[in-house]
Amino acid sequence: MAGSTFQALPGFRDFTPRECAVRNYLFETWRNVARRCGYVEYETPILEDTGLYLKKSGGELSSQLFRFEDQGGRDVTLRPEVTASLARIAATEQRQYPKPLKWFEIGQCFRYEKPQKGRGREFHQFNVDILGEAGPGADAELIALAVETMLSFGFVEGDFVVRISDRNAWVKFAQARGVSDEVMPDFLNLVDKLEREKPEVLTEKLAKFGATLEEVKSFVANPQDAEGSFQEILTDLKARGFGKFVELDLSIVRGLAYYTGVVFEIFDSKKSMRAVAGGGRYDTLVKTISDGAVDMPATGFAMGDYVIRNLIEETTHAAMQMEVWLKRNAAGCEVYMVIPDETALDHALGLVTELRRAGISVDLPLSSVKVGKQFQAAEKCGARFALIVDAEFPSVKIKNLGNRQEEICQATELVAWIKQRLTEPDGPLLA
């Protein structure tokens, strides 16, 4: 890290222009998908009362918090996730908005974990929630958004699958065996470990709940027999044309305590079968956070930026789509103004204002620089056109930097000329 005695903190990223462009690709895709699906944007505070998170999660995240006392003696925490704040805001604001609330947020979250590949101490999360609608139509709508998100990143059939489950199916399974509400979370945690725990350990632990490993495996293998709302959700998603992207999988329960019903995860189906994103119903959270004042069913979905970016980069067609976007959007400007000498400097500066005011992105040399260097600067910043303004003004020359061809244009017609050329892929001169 030559060049500075200071560095970013461990697990924190500097979004240099190159990295920021990738971030913007993710953000723009997320935002467009959410809007297309009828969600409106909100944002919760980055710093909150620590009690909010402790109340929500029952302490699940408490060892990972960036938690401190502020100058006013308040116990505060950098948000580790946004759903607790969402529940707080929804409880206070819900009367101002028609139901159901379809809200999304793109925001940074903070967890003190060991930094490693694919995980930092901060990450960006795309959160999408539907509040105020208890039926399976909301779950299907949310899962449709999850699929739409993957398709918008360029993933296709075979790249991913959404596995849908229902915690209530397991609750009924357990209740039939006499499992009480108090130990239900322990039972669900055990189901969550089905694929990671040794069979002998599972057998022993399941026995305490009056179940055998065989019964559990048979239950997972036959989801069509289970009671749950996922059958209606599956029918809905098939009508949407998304049947090929979803499947029932009762082995999914998701770790967090606050889920109450249908849960789902997007899996990378090619490589490591890792979970890319997930979500589910949390019908009791708003009531908990509002101390019973507002009772509102809810279902939510979250996707982090680390995992999806890795998956994009590992998947050729998704990576190519991102590269095309980056090339088109990462350019410093559309038009670079070349000013060979000072004779027309004033005219050149006037044109800069005129073009920018017309919505065209323009850069220019900020001191006396040789013409060759100016053309180099135009190339380096990714401009499509060099605009040469010299003593011939009001005649100006435009060079298409893609095919090196030049045209002459009158200054008065310049805005219309450039706007037209910018709508054509690489300009008409390439034809």
For the segment 265-324, give every residue that binds a second copy (CB under 8 A). 289-291, 293-294
Mask of contacts with a second copy, 7-36, x by CB under 8 A?
A: xxxx-xxxxxxx-xx-xx-------x--xx
User: How far does Cα 163 stand from its chain's mean position?
Assistant: 19
**Angle, helices 50-57/83-93, rounded to nearest 10 degrees:** 100
> Between residue 132 and residue 151, which ones bind a second copy under the rule CB under 8 A?
133, 135, 137-138, 141, 144, 148, 151
d(CA 406, CA 404): 7
| Two structure tokens written together for 163 | 């596995």
Q: How far apart are CA 277 and CA 264, in angstroms?
A: 9
CB-wise, 111 or 254, nearer to a second copy? Answer: 111
Which of 60, 62, 112, 192 binds a second copy (CB under 8 A)? It is 112
Segment contacting a second copy by CB under 8 A, of 154-162, 179-187, 275-283, 362-370: 362-370
> b/e string for 207-241 if b means 16 or more Cβ within 10 A?
eebebebeebeebbeebeebebbbbebbebbeebe
Closest approach of Cβ 343 to a second copy, in Å?
13
Q: Among all chains, which residue has been given the structure tokens 């918090």?
A: 65
Residues 164-203 that bind a second copy (CB under 8 A): none
Q: Is 431 in the site for a second copy (CB under 8 A)?
A: no
29, 44, 321, 400: which one binds a second copy (CB under 8 A):
44
Which CB, 222 or 235, lies closer to a second copy?
A: 235
Residues near 385 by Cβ (< 8 Å), separated by ≥ 6?
Answer: 334, 335, 336, 398, 399, 400, 401, 418, 421, 427
**Burial status of residue 279 (CB atoms within 10 A of its CB: 0-12, 13-18, 19 or more):** buried
Shortest CB 71 distance to a second copy, Å? 5
Helices (H), 109-183: 136-152, 167-175
* Residue 227 C-beta: closest distance to a second copy, Å: 20
Nearest CB to a second copy, comparing residues 121 and 163: 121
Q: Cβ of residue 331: shortest distance to a second copy, in angstroms? A: 9
Nearest approach, Cβ of 381 to a second copy (angstroms)? 7
Q: Which of 333, 396, 401, 414 binds a second copy (CB under 8 A)?
A: 333
CB of 63 to a second copy, least distance (A): 9
Residues in 67-106 that interact with a second copy by CB under 8 A: 68-72, 74, 76, 78, 85, 87-89, 91-94, 96-98, 100, 102-103
Within residues 387-426, the interface with a second copy by CB under 8 A covers none
- Residue 305, classified by CB atoms within 10 Å of its CB into exposed (0-12), middle (13-18) or buried (19+), is buried
Three-class DSSP category at 209:
coil
Q: Which of 128, 130, 190, 250 binds a second copy (CB under 8 A)?
A: 130
The residue type of 184 is M
When the beta carbons of 9 and 176 are compared against a second copy, the nearer one is 9
Identify the residue among 211, 298, 360, 414 touching a second copy (CB under 8 A). 360
110 near 122, Cβ under 8 Å? yes
Pairing label, strands 75-78, 262-268 = unpaired
Stretch that binds a second copy, among 172-180, 248-256, 313-321, 359-367 (CB under 8 A): 359-367
Q: Which of 158, 380, 410, 412 binds a second copy (CB under 8 A)?
A: 380
CB nearer a second copy, residue 135 or residue 255: 135
Maximum CA extent, the chain: 92
Contact 56/285 with Cβ under 8 angstroms? Answer: yes
- CB nearer to a second copy: pick between 3 and 372: 3
- Residues in contact with a second copy, counted by CB under 8 A, come to a total of 110
Tokens 């461990």, residue located? 10
The CA-CA-CA angle for residues 19, 22, 267, to 5°, reads: 120
The site map against a second copy for 237-256 (x = CB under 8 A) is --xxxx--------------
- 270 closest CA partner among 324, 312, 220, 241: 312
Q: Which of 319, 326, 381, 429 binds a second copy (CB under 8 A)?
A: 381
Among 184, 213, 319, 349, binds a second copy (CB under 8 A): 349
Element (H, E) at 317: helix 316-329
